[in-house]
Structure formats: structure tokens, C-alpha cells
Structure 1
Amino acid sequence: MDIDKAIENISRDTAEIIEIDELKELLKKDEKVAYVGFEPSGKVHLGHALTIKKMKDLQNAGFKIKIFIANLHAYLNGKGTLDELNKVAEYNIKCFKALGLSEDDTEFVLGSERMNMDFMERVFHAATLISIKRAQRSMAQVSRDETHNVAEALYPIMQALDIHDLNADVAVGGMEQRKIHMLAREILPKMDLNTPVCIHIPLIHGTDGSDKMSSSKGNFIAIDDSPKDIKDKVNKSFCPTGVVEDNPVIEMAHYYIFDEHEKMLIERPEKFGGNLELTEEELIDVFSKEELHPMDLKNTVSKYLIDRFAPAREYMENN
């Protein structure tokens, strides 16, 4: 394996990797595991798909992939009853399969199926090593409730121990998971357990321009949305004229067009300037100069997204 090339592929579109040198050593191993956990709390959207893209990069680098469906964690986080969450979990697993991970090297694990006394003994041990305030602080970007409760201390401890329980060498998550991952790197060595490499994925802005795409906020594009729904949602997305930074439509182009295409074709009537074929750098330039109307950008991005997720829609319809 070309380790430098693998590092380049894995590093692309990540917010950070802690630590690169540790990842290089892992890449030399014949057997290695990368894990990501998802709460089963709603639709699988473009933000989730970005994380699955990274899992595919790790899989291509020789990692076995474990997708942890954190139903107990979602319960602690007030996302619903276990029965409700288990039904959503079935749908989520189907979505993740639809996104194209190799099923030969991917394992789906339901959190409640891993619960046993050995695991809980490690949770209790870890609980003696951390203050309630430290645990709550690690939950700041994850917790759904503003009211502090015991679950805020249990959740990050359980997640840290999940990493060991799944024999994971690498833990992947959005930037909202960073503080919990740092907690894991802090307490696992104190328990004579291996420290994971942590890979953090940027958070995609919601279609409304808010900081995070979320099924609970309704500001998302799901991977199994119909072509009409995709077009409607993109057309309604926050996309101020000339504004590039924190623009969700620009982000969609970056993550889901320019990752596979060197140039993007924007089709326009001649009276509005005719067609444009732009690299990402050129797109940023013409849009920031207000030489491209937001609706022309939106029409183009929705067309590419519809094509991009056609295989996922087909999988969902046929399985």
C-alpha cells in the first residue's frame, strides 16, 4: 500500500485527524478497524453521507468498517422510546447500505445488543476517573436537552467504551463528537486500553443556513429524497447573492460535485449568458463577483444531486 496516497485520500475533506502519525502506523497493520456511531433519530441526509464517504476511504485503505447504531445513546439523549428507535435503526441501516459501503467488510452493530456486565463494569470503572462536569462538557454539542441529567454523564462514558468494545483503531465522527473523542483519548489509556485515532468530519450547514444539517430541524436533504423533493429543497436553500462562506449550496457543490467532477456544467439560456463550465475555483470566483445568479447555481446543484443519489434511491426502492 502507498501510505502517503492513503493518507491523502483519508485526509481529504476532514476537519482534523488526531493524530496523523498514529494513523500512518495503523495503515501498516494487516488488520485494522474503523468505527462510526450514529443515533437512529431520523432521516439519513447529506451530512451523514459525508461521513459514510470517509468510511469508504478508510475501507479502501484496508480498514474493516463497523457502523454502530447507538439506540441506547439516542434513548439517553431523549430521541424516543427504544421501540421507536429500533424501527428507525432498521431504516438507517438500509440507508447506509444504499450509500455503497462494501458489505463484505462492513459490520452493523446495534448498541443494545452489545450491552453486558463486562461492558458495564468498564463503564463503572471509567466513571471513577472523570468528573460529572467533565462528562457534561464533552456533551455540549451533542445533548438534546438543556436540562442537565445523569444521562449527560453516562452517554460520553459509554461512547468512549464503545470504541474499545468494538476493537476500533479509528473513531470517526462529526465535529460535534470531538469533545467525546478527546475524553476517550484521555480515559482509555488510564484503563490500560488502546487509544483511538480520531477523524473529524466538517458539519454541513442546514439548507436554512444554520450551523448544522439536522433531521430534527427539517433543514436537510435526505439521501432517499425524490428528485422533486431534492429540487424543491435546493431551490429553497439559503444562498445569498455573492456570498460563498457558510453557503450550503456552495458546500453541496464542493462535497458532492467537485469530489467526482473536475468541472461543473451550468446550463443557462443565451439571454442570461449561456452555458458555463467551471472548476470549483472558477465557481467561487464568478459567484463571489455576482456573475452567477443563485437560481442558476441551485438548478445545477439539484441536477447533480439527483444524479448522484439515484443509486441510493434505487437501492431503497428495491430492498
Structure 2
Amino acid sequence: MSHLPETPEEKLALITRNLQEVIGADLIRKKLEGGEVVKCYWGSATTGRPHIGYFVPLTKIADFLNAGVEVTILLADVHAILDNLKAPVELVAHRVDYYRHVLTGVFRTIGVPVERLRFVVGSSYQLTAKYTMDNFRLCANVTEHDAKRAGAEVVKQVESPLLAGLLYPGMQALDEEYLGVDFQFGGVDQRKIFVFAEEVLPKLGYAKRAHLMNRMVPGLAGGKMSSSDPNSKIDFLDSPADVKKKIKAAFCEEGNVADNGILAFANAVLFPISRLRLAIAASGAPDDGGVKPFVTEGAPEGTVFSIGRKAEWGGPLHYKTYEELEQDFAEKKVHPGDLKAGVQEAIINLLAPLHRLFAEDSAFREAEAKAYPPPEPVKKAKKEKKQRVIPPAKTGTLATDAERTAEGQNGINDTPGQGETEEIVKKVEQVRLTNPTA
């Protein structure tokens, strides 16, 4: 989109484009047609290290801002504790600080003016008397079964679930009221919580909100991209060498477009960001340290994404839409190695401004060090030498040498004397003479 939307329909189209599901679009349309400012929030529990999968919702938030939506970013510190203690209590405040630095830097990388965003920390209002009473009211209207079902896709599932996990969905529903928004935005994995919120808020006398959901991007190894699995994702602060290593090891089967994290990331992040950067460049707005479009020099007009293939393999490839790239890959016109090389280069360029910001900002570096301190080395416990305990010999059995030694040390001596030995020898000789075969 080369120009900002002006009509309600244009704004709604931009707000809802490239989403997997929209519930309550009419609520948003009514606000737009009435000339009101639409407000939304996107929340993130401050748990594990943020990774490039976050580019998916953050890129979509750029669309919201361009459509005139007021966006609130919720740094959900209390939720981080409720979700099976994914964030230790003593580290939560530091992780809030780190998330704020990272997300601000990423928005600048994308080309989003951060002054148009509002950051709110969950504990700033979730610990108030009014919110607490509303939370109690909500709990009085929700069964254990419904609360557990609502959080099944989001809250970590364990064999013996904690009570805290049952509070998670209800608080996320209340956040819509306390942040004063018209819609909540999140991944499609949040759907059950969103539906739960639509059911429970009216019971408390609050309005039902709309809900917008983006697709979940597969991890590099297939499946969900996860903060807890370092091989499934690329950290925002991963070095170019780490990016290359992880992309090289990523699952990318030739012709397979169904379960392909590399293609999915290009679709959800690289193409939208490149279009955004092209629009910013065309408008003459200052670059603000953001990335350049992912287009090589000499690319045809209208190109959004380029793959710098070597001349002996046919030269560079240029694409105006993601659909063109997907079709070429499905028809095996693009080799997995070439696709990986193009995406790898784009990711390195995408992260470069954030890395520069991290290197130049001591507060950013300090926040990272405090939020994710290195684990303390596990000290191996020294094994205590067990003392050998020798039981006394049983009656009628032969004692061992060790037992004899121990008995001797205790003043007991059962060793035959000289006379006794001679007597034994004589008896043996008599037996031999009597029985020669013995």
C-alpha cells in the first residue's frame, strides 16, 4: 500500500489484511464509520528471550498504526509468573526492562515510529483494589473446567497444573476493559482465550471486544517457534554466524510449502517489511536507521524480494509477491539452498540495526545481562568413601583372612598352635595309609 488509507473501508482492509481470523469486524467498522479512533492492545508475557517470531505480530502492528489505530503494548509481568513460573519472580522486573528495549528497537528496525506506541506494564494496574475485586467477580462466574479449557493452548500444560494457570485467561479478558481497547490482537493460539473473553466480560457488565489473530509461524525445525527451544528460533541478538548456522540446519524440503518455516517467515515478515520500507523510501521520509528493502541492485521495478543466486545457477531471482515465490518453490524452480541464502541475508540485514543499538546502548546491555543471567555452574557433590564393615564370621563357617586379622587385632587368636598342627598332619597320614585312594 503506497498511501495511507483514508476511508473507513480502506482502514478496515488494512487492519484485517493477512490475518488468519477476525472475530467482530463489525465492531471495528462501526467505530471507523463513526469517525472514532480505534484502540487495540497486543500483550506479551515477559518470559523467555524474544526471538524473530515476534516480527510477525510486530509487523502487523505497523499496519494498525498506518490505519490510525492507537496501539498499546502490554508487558505482562504478572502473567509471566502465573504461567507455571516461566519467569522467576526475582527476574520479572529485569525482563520487563529488556522486553521494552528489544521491542522498541525492533519497531524502529521495521520503520514504525515508536512515539505512536503506548507501553504498559501489567502490574501497574493489575494489583489495584478495583482490578482485584473484578478478578474475584470473574472467578465467581467461571468454572474450573472453562478456565482450564480457555488457557489450554497458551498456558504450559503439566501433569499437576497450578492454580495460577486458571487465573491467566480471566486476567487477559479483564485487560481488555482496563486498557480501554476496542480489539485485542494475538496469535491464533490465543483463540480460546479470546472466545472466553467475549463470553465472560458481559457477565461483569463490560462490553464485548473484537479479536484479530495472525497465523503462527512454524519453527525452523517444524512445529511452533518456541522461546524454550533454541534450535527452533533465532534470537534477536544472534550473531550473523549463528543465523547462518540455524538457517542451514532448518527443515526446508524441496517443493514442500506446507510445513516450511523458511517460506512462512518470508511471507509473514520479510515481504511485508520490504513493502513497508519501499513505501517509506518512496515518501522521502528519513530512514531512522531501519533496514533497506530486501531487493538487490538492478531488480525490475515493483520487486519486493530478491534472491541473489549465482550466475552459473541462473542469476538472481526477483519477486513482486510472496505467491510468486511460493509457486516457484512448489514447482522446484527455486532450490532450498537458494531460498535459505536469500532469507538468511534478509534476516541478517533485518537484525543489524538492532545489534548496533545494543552495542551503543549500555542500558540495553545491562537490561539483557540482568534479565537472563548465565546459569550458575552445577557443583558436583563429592562422593563420601564408604567404610567397609566386616560382619563377624558365623558359627560353623570358615573365617576369611580379613576376619582373622580383625580378630587378631581384638586380642582373639584362633590360629592353630605348633602342637595342634603336628597332630593334624599325623591324622592325615593315617587316613592315607588306611585308604590309599584317598
Please give the per-residue CA displacement for 1:183-222, whole angstroms capped at 9, x wherever unaligned: 1111111211121111111111011111x11111121123
Residue in 1 aligned with 2:212? 199
Distance 1:62 1:276 in 2: 35
Residue in 1 aligned with 2:183? 170
Matching residue within 349, 365, 369 for 1:307: 349
1:153 aligns with 2:166: yes
**Cα distance, 1:29 vs structure 2:** 4.3
Moved runs in structure 1, 4+ residues, more than 4 A?
none
Please give the per-residue CA displacement for 1:46-70, whole angstroms capped at 9, x wherever unaligned: 3222111222222222222211111
Residue in 1 aligned with 2:105? 98
Please give the per-residue CA displacement for 1:158-206, whole angstroms capped at 9, x wherever unaligned: 1111111111211111111111111111111121112111111111101
Distance 2:346 2:134 in 1: 47
Contact 2:48/2:87 (8 A) holds in 1? no
Distance 1:317 1:21 in 2: 46
State percent identity of aligned pairs: 30
Matching residue within 88, 93, 118 for 1:86: 93
Contact 2:28/2:38 (8 A) holds in 1? no
Note the 1:248-263 alignment, pairs <5 A. 248-259=261-272, 260-261=274-275, 262-263=303-304
Matching residue within 313, 330, 351 for 1:288: 330
Q: For 2:141, give the aligned amino acid.
A: L
1:77 aligns with 2:83: yes
Distance 1:161 1:265 in 2: 44
Q: For 2:180, give the aligned amino acid.
A: N
Q: For 1:6, give the aligned amino acid.
A: K
Q: For 1:8, give the aligned amino acid.
A: A
- Greater relative contact order structure (CA < 8 Å, 6+ sep): 1
Contact 1:264/1:278 (8 A) holds in 2? yes
Q: For 1:74, give the aligned amino acid.
A: A
1:268 aligns with 2:309: yes
Distance 1:127 1:14 in 2: 32
Note the 1:1-319 alignment, pairs <5 A. 1-27=6-32, 28-78=34-84, 79-100=86-107, 101-114=112-125, 115-146=127-158, 147-210=160-223, 212-218=224-230, 219-259=232-272, 260-261=274-275, 262-279=303-320, 280-319=322-361
Contact 1:73/1:155 (8 A) holds in 2? yes
Q: For 1:110, give the aligned amino acid.
A: V
Contact 2:247/2:340 (8 A) holds in 1? yes
TM normalised by structure 2 equals: 0.69
Distance 2:145 2:35 in 1: 37
Mind listing any 5+ residue stretches in structure 2 that lack a counterpart? 1-5, 276-302, 362-438
Partner-residue secondary structure (3-state), 1:271: helix
Partner-residue secondary structure (3-state), 2:74: strand
Q: Would the alpha carbon gap of residues 203 and 158 (structure 1) be closer, same or farther in structure 2, given more than 3 Å must change?
A: same
**Cα distance, 1:303 vs structure 2:** 0.9
Mind listing any 5+ residue stretches in structure 1 that lack a counterpart? none
Please give the per-residue CA displacement for 1:42-96, whole angstroms capped at 9, x wherever unaligned: 2222322211122222222222221111111111112032221221221111111
